[in-house]
Amino acid sequence: MSERSFIVSIAVGVPGVGKSTVLSITKKLLQEKSLYAEVVNYGDFIFEELKDSGLISSRDDLRRLPLKIQFKHQSNAAKRIIDYATEVFEEKKQGVLFIDTHLWIKTRSGLWPGLPLHVVQILRPDLLILIEADPMDIINRIRRDQSRYREDYADPRFIEELQEMNRREALVIATLSGAAIKIVLNKEGRAEDAARDIVDAVIALIR
Ligand code: ATP
Ligand code: MG
């Protein structure tokens, strides 16, 4: 574990699996236990850098940008996330930073890693939370959630393959960084159960 005053947990899973939903419940549950948690969305930090460029108009446009543009902003965003968390946790003795992101991004040039080595070296995660769900549940969540565009992922065979690739990539990242891997199942209608599993894993890491 690192010398930072906060634990770095990276939560990953395919688009629509429920990462943001589960993490917001996790934050609330941890706060009830007097443990401060901050949740940041990696894509929001990249979007923040690019929103005035005129290249994109929404978060879901990011993955349609040429890879060389995405690449440049990937490590900048990682540094800004750690700087932001260092500031947020400065006053606190202990805390948990959750970074909400993806292990594989579907781009026009093929699948692209969300956590390549240069990013892992900046983030230095303590815990990797792999959020999974039944592919058909994910498809239904994508269809129901009209606030986002995720149709490019909405194929059950592709989701299954991607979840398998995520497990393999999680092994690579854990080996490179020394982070533990926690696999969490986000069952339909049971996001709070998934959040409780994360709370247990985080508390076991701290105490
Ligand atoms: P993205 O990576 O694209 O940001 P995400 O993994 O953060 O996706 P969410 O936005 O949290 O996914 O969830 C997608 C949709 O699924 C939302 O409408 C959310 O309310 C719903 N959802 C999340 N978890 C569950 C669950 N356990 N049961 C039913 N619906 C869920
Ligand atoms: Mg999300």
Is residue 124 within 8 Å of 174, Cβ to Cβ?
no
Candidates 179, 186, 181, 178; CA nearest to 129 is 181
Is residue 13 within 8 Å of 131, Cβ to Cβ?
yes
Beta-bridge partners for 26: none
> Which positions ≥6 away from 25 have C-beta within 8 Å?
191, 192, 194, 195
> pLDDT category, 8, cuts 50, 70, 90?
very high
Residue 69 has pLDDT above 70, yes or no: yes
Cβ of 17 closer than 6 Å to ligand 1, yes or no, is yes
Residue bearing the CA closest to ligand 1, atom 2:
15
Domain extent listing, the chain: 6-41+94-206
Q: What is the pLDDT of residues 29-68, one digit of tens each?
A: 999 999 999 999 999 999 988 888 888 888 888 888 888 8
Is residue 127 within 8 Å of 8, Cβ to Cβ?
yes
Residue to mutate, 21, 102, 159, ligand 1, most ligand atoms under 8 Å from C-beta: 21
- Cα(44) to centroid of ligand 2, in Å? 10
Q: What angle do CA 139, 135, 37 make, to 5 degrees?
A: 85
Residue to mutate, 63, 141, 159, ligand 1, most ligand atoms under 8 Å from C-beta: 141
Q: Tell me which of 3.40.50.300, 3.40.50.2000, 3.40.50.720, 3.40.50.410 is the CATH number of domain 6-41+94-206.
A: 3.40.50.300
Q: What is the pLDDT of residues 163-186, one digit of tens each?
A: 999 999 999 999 999 999 999 999
- Please tell me the pTM assigned to this model: 0.96
